[in-house]
Amino acid sequence: MRVWSVANQKGGVGKTTTVVTLAGLLAGAGHRVLAVDLDPHGSLTSYFRHDPDELERSAFDLFSGDAPDRDRLQALLLPTGHERIALLPSSTALATLERRAVGKEGMGLQVARALRRLEGEFDYVLIDSPPVLGVLMVNALAACQHLLVPVQTEYLALKGLERMVRSIAMVNRARKRKLEYSLIPTFYDRRTQASVNCLRELHREYPAQIADAVVPVDTKFRNASVQGLVPSRLDAGSRGVAAYAKLLRSLLARQMQD
């Protein structure tokens, strides 16, 4: 079971879209996928037509009371309308977690522990995380073998990225195995100077981390979300889906190496 997290301390950069699109492509290739929503806003949960305000059980249960065993964990999972994609949803209760977690030990590893108990049930786990460095993001970073950082290709994007890179360095001090990450340029529009300059700077500053795949601005992503469909099911040939397919190929190739 491979676990990939998607994080950036900035909102609206394409994190949830990255999770949903990669989940769809992996499921389409026959893999069993678990999508985990650790964002209290619950965009991923809403995407798959569940209401985070109404859910009584969610990822919050990983942090409260006794750690759920395999059966209880499975009872938390919801269908997504897509074969082979299950959802561990968010709920509004997750928003209270940061306050509750203060000073409690071991709170950073709850998600990693829960996923270990689901070993064998899924081929890939994709974790969506909130744009805040707190206990939820720390859990997402601790639970994964690889981190994807979508970066919106715009003016000043690198400034925000520096913060995220510092957070990764901080998490790495506590990890046995160094967390490797890939930067995914998103919302790329080659007609705008800001996009072009930003991509050039990303290559210059982060040559080892920048992904080959560049995700263009593509309105199909929004159309897919309106319909609650993974983008590859709405339009498998769109430019946006093609970019994520390229990203996925490079992630799978890299996985073969380690």
Ligand X SMILES: Nc1ncnc2c1ncn2[C@@H]1O[C@H](COP(=O)(O)OP(=O)(O)O)[C@@H](O)[C@H]1O
- Chain residues that interact with Mg ion, rule: CB under 5 A: 15-16, 43
Q: How many other CB atoms are found less than 10 A from the CB of residue 175?
A: 11
Q: Does 221 bind ligand X (CB under 6 A)?
A: yes
Letter for the amino acid at 255?
Q
Q: Does 42 bind ligand X (CB under 6 A)?
A: no
Phi-psi region of 34 (alpha: psi -120 to 50; beta: other; left: phi over 0): beta
Interface stretch with ligand X, choices 7-15, 22-30, 169-177, 189-197 (CB under 6 A): 7-15
By a kind-dependent CB cut-off of 5 to 8 A, residue 61 interacts, out of Mg ion, ligand X, none, with: none
- Position among 3, 9, 15, 230 found at the interface with ligand X (CB under 6 A): 15
Closest distance of CB 229 from ligand X, Å: 12
Give, as one character, the DSSP assignment of residue 208: T
End-to-end, the C-alpha distance of the chain in Å comes to 14
Cβ-based nearer residue to Mg ion, 45 or 110: 45
- Specify the 3-state DSSP secondary structure of 36: strand
For 82, the token pair is 């897509």
Cβ-based nearer residue to Mg ion, 21 or 68: 21
By a kind-dependent CB cut-off of 5 to 8 A, residue 50 interacts, out of Mg ion, ligand X, none, with: none
* Contact in structure between 45 and 183 (CB atoms under 8 Å): no
Cβ-based nearer residue to ligand X, 199 or 215: 215
Closest distance of CB 71 from ligand X, Å: 31
Letter for the amino acid at 116?
R
Q: Does 9 bind ligand X (CB under 6 A)?
A: no
**Nearest alpha carbon to residue 18 among 41, 35, 40, 1:** 35
Q: How many other CB atoms are found less than 10 A from the CB of residue 5?
A: 28
Q: Does 187 bind ligand X (CB under 6 A)?
A: yes
Residues that bind ligand X (CB under 6 A): 11-17, 43, 186-187, 215, 217-218, 221-222, 225, 240
